[in-house]
Amino acid sequence: MKLYLASSSPRRAHMLADWGIPFSIVKTDVDEVMLDAAPENCAAQNALAKAKSGSDHVDAGLVIGADTIVACDGRILGKPLDEAQARDMLALLEGREHRVITAMAAVLVPGKATATRTSITHVFMRHLSESERQAYFDNPEYRDKAGAYAVQGLAASFIERTEGPMDTIIGFTMSDFHALCIELHVDMRR
């Protein structure tokens, strides 16, 4: 069965390629929304919207959508609009625990059967020095990242510890991908 990734995230594409899973990128026409709902619900709604949008562009196969949200103190931290907002986000996360939520959704085409999964990893970020902060914001890495950081990039040294799957933080939880395939009776080994 052909696999389609309804995401423009190079990190998600890189993960699938590293796992040796053949796939194609499919276009989506979805703007991520941060509703007043629980972060888990927002991530799941965004992931499903992406998968459904992507499924409109394929004749047959499994379309996977994903969305990653960072949540701290009941606040959803999406992608920062600018450096000032990114600095505010990092200041909120420093020296404390926050949650990274990745929801994944699958749409099986034809038929449009759907399934969703959500995974949460608790992340503990240390306090940063002003020079560390400045060096981080001198690099554009924080842009287009939920919570203004990527654990696999420069911010890796900011993380004291994690509780939960590391791939959830990166944005594609492999165990959830396998669970989605099982739920929809899809064998990706063929």
Known catalytic residues?
67
- Which helix (H) or strand (E) segment is 161 a member of? strand 159-163
27 within 8 A of 54, measured Cβ to Cβ: yes
Q: Which residues of 161-182 are buried (b: 16+ CB within 10 A; e: fewer)?
A: ebebbebbbbbbbbebbebbbe
SS3 33: coil
Count other C-beta atoms under 10 Å from residue 86's C-beta. 22
